[in-house]
Amino acid sequence: MSFTYKRTVRFQDTDAAGVVYFANVLAMCHEAYEASLAASGINLKAFFSNPQLAMPIIHATVDFYRPMFVGDRLIIQLTPKQIAGDEFEIAYQVFPEPVAEKSAAKALTKHVCIEAASRTKKQLSEELMKWLRQFEV
């Protein structure tokens, strides 16, 4: 079952034309990712400041279907998927609220688990596997 995150577009999210700046869609998606980790019981401070393991993003894409403006209420649906023992991806659908037939944007991020010091790939942790199982479709 996907994780759902709600957010209102803020002025700081927009460009000079008053439309959400493209990079800020990824920032909003990352907020949804953090919220989903917290919802599954993961301590965010410990997860993101772990001196042994890191989960860097190795690929990101965003497709836009309609503009988003200040004050728009958004629903971000997040669906993670394990790719390999050390990699996962997260698919995001950004919908206007109330949900319309067509999304405002879609995004995808791919992550790899690495040992922080050596930068070598490591297996995903059990707590991350639990998170994947909870929100994977």
Task: Indicate the length of the chain as a whole number.
Answer: 137
Active-site annotation holds for 15: yes
Q: Which of 15, 63, 72, 86 is catalytic?
A: 15
Q: What angle do CA 108, 102, 1 make, to 5 degrees?
A: 55
Using CA atoms, how far residue 33 sits from 19, 28, 38, 85, 117, in Å, is: 23, 9, 9, 19, 24
Active site positions, annotated:
15
